[in-house]
Amino acid sequence: MLLNTSIVVGAVCWIITAVLLAAMLGAMFAPDKNKMVSRIVISSLFLIPSIAVIPLSFAAFILLSIMFFIILISIFGIRIAIELIRDGVPEMDEDGNLIENTVIKPTAPWA
């Protein structure tokens, strides 16, 4: 059931994105409002290529994201990345000095 719903939602999003891309390209090549027929013709000509471009752009985004992650890890290193994830990004003042967070543990009033 979940797989079927995911496939239907993915297909609907794919078609909507392709139609919107084709309409945008049609409006770009026929910007005048009085050329509505030529805008519709150009948009329908761009519909088939835009249906093919949407999955390719999704795959390209995934590949670029993976490459960006690999480049960042190779520049900063795995140890620094783990420290940043664990401790968070450190705060700095205007001069570029690190602000040390002194953790004050709350004590009971009777202690």
Please name which of 9, 10, 17, 7 lies closest in space to residue 53, comparing C-alpha atoms: 17
Q: Is the pLDDT of residue 84 over 80?
A: no
**Owner of token pair 């519709």:** 40
Is 96 inside any structural domain? no
CA distances in angstroms from 32 to 18, 26, 35, 37, 39, listed in the order given = 22, 11, 6, 11, 9
Structurally, the chain folds into a number of domains equal to: 1
Is 98 inside any structural domain? no
| pLDDT of res. 66 | 92
Residues 6+ apart with CB under 8 A from 84: 76
> pLDDT tens digits, residue range 47-65?
888 888 888 888 888 999 9
> pLDDT tens digits, residue range 5-26?
988 998 898 899 999 989 888 8
End-to-end CA gap in the chain: 58
**pTM, rounded to two decimals:** 0.53
Range of the domain at 17: 2-87
| pLDDT of res. 111 | 57
Do the beta carbons of residue 70 and residue 62 sit within 8 Å? no
Is 111 inside any structural domain? no
Is 100 inside any structural domain? no
Is 34 inside any structural domain? yes
Is 108 inside any structural domain? no
